[in-house]
Chains A and B, each alone.
Chain A
């Protein structure tokens, strides 16, 4: 399967710990997005890369959040000093240039105790 893959699928951590999620987009897609989804809500945009350049960050993304896409392929999303309010599904999506269609991964579910 050459879809978007995310790792880990589930992460349980204690408040104050750091966590990192990885996303491998569809190989020919140069745009990569991170969204966050909480129960009963639609996904919320966090940040967006075109190749290795991070072009936009949502105001939702506090200083504790950082995302990278160092070689324009996979991306990581790190959350430092996690808080209970960070508990959510973190969705990665990719798209090719010229298309607005997002291909989502299965997501990484974070639970902060």
Chain B
């Protein structure tokens, strides 16, 4: 079945440094989503990417979807302590953009040292 791999598993940064997490799927995806889970919390939706080569920005966060729609990345510029948490990518190979059966990566745990 579909597998979604995410690296690195852990990332420790000093506040102000940049952070990137990478996601690779074993199959072509119809869309990819990113979620953030704070310690002790539940996953919270960040963004959905649908188009090949798509790039979206949310303030200090930049999301990319690969040309082959098999990989994605999340880059955070100038991390802040509020960025702490686990970042998950989640892919879908169902048709369209409206199906919520997602295969999640194992997540990247981000620690930010002040």
Contacts and interface: CB of A to CB of B under 8 A. Distances in A.
B27 interface: no
A106 B102 contact: no
B44 A104 contact: yes
B73 to A, nearest CB: 16
A18 B33 CA distance: 34
Interface string B28-41: 00010101000001
B98 A48 contact: no
Contacts of A33: 100-101
A45 B43 CA distance: 14
B97 interface: yes
Contact of A45 (B6, B45, B48, B102): B102
B104 A100 contact: no
B42 A42 contact: no
Interface in B29-85: 31, 33, 35, 41-45, 48
Nearest to A105: B42
A107 B103 CA distance: 18
A106 B44 CA distance: 10
Contacts of A70: none
Nearest to B44: A104
B23 to A, nearest CB: 11
A43 B106 CA distance: 8
B92 interface: yes
